[in-house]
């Protein structure tokens, strides 16, 4: 599970994000990579940014999954490099990241 992927805005759009994803795929060839993105929402102030992120991940081999989760005012959708994901593994990842002590109870 990729918790957060960011490229410095001064060097963005130069292929670094794609290279990072390709390296992760190389390091973990047996696993489906998964991450979450803010769902597009025409009412959101950053909707264009959300659409660009989704397009970037789709272009790099990620597929939308049915897994959604809400955090305060934003709904996130999980994307994965396999069209079918192991829902139990994704749920366990979310449990691990849950605050404040999810990682301690594993």
Tell whether 1 is covered by a domain.
no
Q: What is the pTM of this model?
A: 0.79
User: What's the N-to-C CA distance of the chain in angstroms?
Assistant: 16
Question: Which of the four pLDDT bands, split at 50, 70 and 90, describes residue 73?
Answer: confident
Residues 6 or more apart from 83 whose CB is under 8 A from it?
63
Residues 6 or more apart from 15 whose CB is under 8 A from it?
none
* 30 or 99, greater pLDDT: 30
Q: Is there a contact between 35 and 62 (Cβ–Cβ < 8 Å)?
A: yes
Tell whether 7 is covered by a domain.
no
In this prediction, residues 13-39 reach a mean pLDDT of 92
Q: Is there a contact between 97 and 41 (Cβ–Cβ < 8 Å)?
A: no
Residue 88 has pLDDT above 60, yes or no: yes
Give the pLDDT score at 49. 93
Residues 6 or more apart from 82 whose CB is under 8 A from it?
32, 63
DSSP letter string, 11-23? TTTSSHHHHHHHH
Give the pLDDT score at 62. 95
Q: For the chain, what is the domain count?
A: 1
In this prediction, residues 71-93 reach a mean pLDDT of 81
The domain in which residue 28 lies consists of 16-105
Rounded to an integer, what distance in angstroms lies between the CA atom of residue 49 and that of residue 53?
Answer: 6
Tell whether 11 is covered by a domain.
no
Tell whether 5 is covered by a domain.
no
């Amino acid at each position: 599970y990729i918790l957060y992927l960011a490229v410095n805005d001064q060097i963005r759009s130069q292929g670094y994000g794609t290279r990072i994803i390709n390296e992760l795929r190389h390091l973990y060839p047996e696993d489906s990579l998964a991450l979450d993105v803010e769902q597009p929402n025409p009412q959101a102030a950053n909707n264009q940014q959300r659409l660009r992120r989704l397009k970037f991940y789709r272009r790099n081999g990620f597929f939308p999954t049915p897994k959604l989760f809400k955090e305060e005012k934003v709904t996130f959708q999980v994307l994965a490099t396999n069209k079918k994901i192991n829902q139990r593994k994704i749920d366990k990842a979310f449990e691990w990241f849950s605050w404040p002590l999810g990682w301690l109870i594993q």
